[in-house]
């Protein structure tokens, strides 16, 4: 069986092993594949593994040998799932590998906003403390999280992990999720109105694309902090940038953007009090190792006739 990995570098830049896949077939790994090269690189391979390389309908039409598609991520919108389903091709994803790492990154962003550790350390390295007439200084207002309200939109595994961490900081937790229940679950309008910090953890669907927009921002508290480690298109970036510049939103921490990598002129790059990281919440080695193991298990289960984590 021929297995082709179209874009393996982000998962494994050299600190993991592809041996699990190699044990299951004749493996070819490409670091990156541009769209014009996808069909040629798949060729007659039966198994296609992709992370962010698109697999539109024309790829399935041109590569009839494909029997299985494995996505090296939780989100699978890069694959035309309907086209795969029509051909009886299972598409699998990796649903649970990054819970701890994403929750950790949420608080890395939030703590940088509230305490500015990186900014202050850089200022000390630049000699500002040595030149200070006082024994201490701060570059921006500092903020305690205790007794603040954390609003979590999307209350699955990651949202619940963020809630647990928030409680550890002494925060009150509110959550909105149409499929979740619990004493902390409230309607969206209540969450928007009462939260000091709002963190997004919902999947990207047609219904919630652009969920954070001019209208929902207007319903938030003045000076709210917004965090997005989920999907970039949940946010109308121009609306958020305007709210940051006006001060309606005090700060934002985002690990995802509408277009990745961002184009020149991306509204949030350089916006006031906006902290943007390059989609790395998932990327600690421990999380990537779990992802690799689950991806291999997904393929093994398919080959055994008992597919798991099928999204098609």
pLDDT in tens, 155-209: 999 999 999 999 999 999 999 999 998 999 999 999 999 999 999 999 888 999 9
Catalytic residue, from 231, 236, 288, 290: name it: 231
Instruction: Give domain 99-276's CATH architecture.
Output: 3-Layer(aba) Sandwich (3.40)
Catalytic residue, from 30, 157, 214, 279: name it: 279
**Residue at token pair 């799932």:** 81
**Mean pLDDT estimate for the chain:** 97
Q: Please check the confidence at residue 251 and state whether its pLDDT lies above 90.
A: yes
Catalytic residue, from 140, 260, 263, 285: name it: 260
The phi and psi torsions of 36 (rounded to 5 degrees) equal -65, -20
> What pLDDT sits at residue 296?
98
Q: Do domains 2-97+285-303 and 99-276 have the same CATH topology?
A: yes
CA 110 – CA 254 distance, rounded (Å): 10
In 3-state terms, what secondary structure has residue 81? helix
**Residue at token pair 């679950």:** 185
48 touches 25 (CB < 8 A)? no
Query: Is 260 among the residues known to form the active site?
Result: yes
99 touches 157 (CB < 8 A)? yes
Query: Is 105 among the residues known to form the active site?
Result: no
Domain 2-97+285-303 has CATH 3.40.50.720: yes
Task: Please state the pTM of the whole predicted model.
Answer: 0.92
CA gyration radius, the chain = 22
Query: Could you state, in order of their start, the residue ranges of all structural domains in the chain?
Result: 2-97+285-303, 99-276
Query: Is 157 among the residues known to form the active site?
Result: no
pLDDT in tens, 227-238: 999 999 999 999
> What pLDDT sits at residue 77?
87
Residues with Cβ within 8 Å of 228's Cβ and at least 6 positions away in sequence, in order, are 199, 200, 212, 234, 235, 252, 253, 254, 255, 256
What's the maximum distance between 2 C-alpha atoms anywhere in the chain?
Answer: 72
């Amino acid at each position: 069986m021929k297995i082709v990995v179209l874009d393996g570098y982000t998962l494994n830049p050299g600190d993991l092993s592809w041996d699990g896949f190699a044990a299951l077939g004749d493996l070819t790994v490409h670091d990156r594949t541009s769209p014009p090269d996808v069909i040629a690189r798949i060729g007659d391979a039966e198994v296609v593994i992709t992370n962010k390389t698109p697999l539109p309908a024309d790829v399935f039409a041109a590569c009839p040998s494909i029997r299985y598609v494995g996505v090296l991520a939780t989100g699978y919108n890069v694959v035309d799932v309907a086209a795969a389903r029509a051909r009886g091709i299972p598409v699998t994803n990796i649903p649970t590998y990054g819970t701890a790492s994403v929750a950790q990154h949420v608080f890395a962003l939030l703590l940088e906003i509230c305490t500015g550790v990186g900014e202050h350390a850089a200022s000390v390295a630049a000699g500002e403390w040595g030149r200070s007439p006082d024994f201490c200084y701060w570059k921006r207002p500092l903020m305690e999280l205790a007794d603040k309200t954390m609003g979590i939109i999307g209350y699955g595994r990651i949202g619940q992990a963020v809630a647990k961490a928030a409680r550890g900081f002494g925060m009150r937790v509110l959550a909105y999720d149409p499929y979740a229940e619990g004493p902390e679950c409230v309607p969206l309008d209540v969450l928007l109105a009462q939260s000091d910090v709002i963190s997004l953890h919902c999947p990207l669907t047609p219904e919630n694309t652009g969920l954070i927009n001019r209208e929902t921002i207007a319903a938030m508290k003045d000076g709210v902090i917004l965090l997005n480690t989920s999907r970039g298109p949940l946010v109308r970036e121009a609306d958020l940038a305007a709210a940051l510049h006006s001060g309606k939103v005090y700060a934002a921490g985002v690990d995802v953007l509408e277009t990745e990598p961002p184009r020149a002129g991306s509204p949030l790059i350089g916006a006031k009090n906006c902290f943007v990281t390059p989609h790395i919440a998932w990327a600690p080695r421990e999380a990537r190792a779990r992802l690799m193991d689950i991806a291999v298990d997904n393929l093994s289960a398919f080959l055994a006739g008992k597919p798991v984590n099928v999204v098609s």
